[in-house]
Chains A and B, each alone.
Chain A
Amino acid sequence: MFTIFVLNICSLFMSPRPSRLRKISNPPVISGFRPYGNKNIKGKVEAVFLHFEEYEALRLCDYEMLNHHQASVLMNVSRPTLTRIYARARQKIAEALVKGSQISIEGGKIYFDSEWFLCSSCGCYFNNPEKQVEIKECPLCKSTSFSVYAENNNNEEEEEEEEEEE
């Protein structure tokens, strides 16, 4: 009796657990796709918004050919969650193909795996302490020309330097 009472109270006053942030290791190189040759479609077709997490799930499962469990570990979510994200990605892409609508890759609850960014105008590296917030500009010179700094590249560079020193 008491449990039912507690559950009722909880469902009234508590919001559900917020979803986990999905980890993106490779952000897409483009921001979307545009259809061409749509002669039969009149008027403007609404764009399909493919979330970053859906893009990443699609990339891991269909491009890297990983299974859902491996992909879910890489994205730091559970396997059933990854399957849902993946299903949503396919559904959206199919919709875009059938309707001839533009695909725009944006949004989603994500954080980037690479924690460091490199500003190309002042040459500084910086990180993002608040993973939920997207970085829009360099914190030092406010330029918008910065790129995700992959730590793998760093190691390669260091290795090269070491080799040169030898």
Chain B
Amino acid sequence: MVGNMSYGLQKRILIILFLLVPIALLATFALYPAAYLVYLSFMTWDGFSPEKTWAGLANYKEVFESKEVWAAFGHNFVYLGWGLLQNALGLAFALLLNSRLKGRNAYRVMLFMPYIMNGVAVAYMFNYVFNSEYGSFNTLLRGMGLDSLAISWFGSPKAVNHVLGFITLWKFMGLNMVIYLAALQSVPSEIEEAARIDGASRFQAILHVVLPNITKVIELNLFLTIIGTLEIFDLPFILTGGGPLGASDTFLTKTVATAFKFNNFGMASAMSVTLIAAVVVVLSVQRLVTRRWSN
């Protein structure tokens, strides 16, 4: 039986057997769809009819010439602004928790908690925070006599993306914090102590000695944030459906609507390919930057 087989033969059989299902899954649900996506992006197709017609670059042309798509993409930059603040806060709290402090694990557990919460539940929860009439936030504002500030947060085209950006910060700040904290804990404390003995203040020691040791992780977090903001989807999809009048559409909610609401699979595919290309560009830039640091 197996025991009599040579290890060379066993190895070959095992490699095939063990990789068969995983590779089949990878090919069927990741590699093939990615290739099919590129193919679809050159086609005109409604998603169900058997007919697909060659469209050439027409879909891409439509994507780049559409004012709505550019407007939606512009909204992603509001999230980027909140994402940068989220990073700064994540780093600040990581620095706080990296010092000797009573109950620091409890703080870490609490601040990270939103990240693991169900996104749909979080979205509806904030629907009640920011509801214009009965929302807890407006109730709080009115209680402080700031009635004029108690506006319709999801109804205002100017405010809506900032509200959604804030909710994103609320949910993801802990992730940045935990990653920064892990990096800070790998910096030997002797380095900081040595700087302190040489007369540096705590602030100077952090700025000139600790932070330069974690530049790579700061970059990593920033790139994660940039990619995350390119891919914003759940919150506007659930909370506003892109409204009012498209004011909170993002590139991805627009893509999904183009495919599954307007049955324009060709253009939706072209939008998806464009987004993937953008992610790859961002990641390549990160690689280049990281290489510069390690040289």
- A, B: real partners: no
